[in-house]
Amino acid sequence: MSHTILLLSGPNLNLLGDREPEVYGAGTLDDHVAAASAAAGRHGMAVEHHQSNEEGVLIDHIHRARGRCAAIVINPGAFTHYAWAIHDALAAFDGPVVELHLSNPNAREPWRHTSVVSPAATGTIAGFGAHGYELAVEAVARLLA
Known catalytic residues?
24, 101
Q: What are phi and psi of 101, to 5 degrees?
A: -135, 140
Distance of closest approach, residue 80 Cβ to ligand CA2, in angstroms: 6
Instruction: Assess 9 for contact with ligand CA2 (CB under 6 A).
Output: no
Q: Cα(140)–Cα(65) distance, rounded to whole angstroms?
A: 15
Instruction: Assess 80 for contact with ligand CA2 (CB under 6 A).
Output: yes
Residues 6+ apart with CB under 8 A from 63: 89, 92
Q: Where are the beta strands (DSSP E) in 28-70?
A: 46-51
Q: Which of 5, 8, 77, 140 binds ligand CA2 (CB under 6 A)?
A: 77
For ligand CA2, which is the closer residue by CB, 37 or 75?
75
The CA R_g of the chain, rounded to the nearest whole Å, is 14
- Which residues of this chain interact with ligand CA2, rule CB under 6 A? 12-13, 15-16, 18-20, 24, 75, 77-78, 80, 101-103, 105, 112
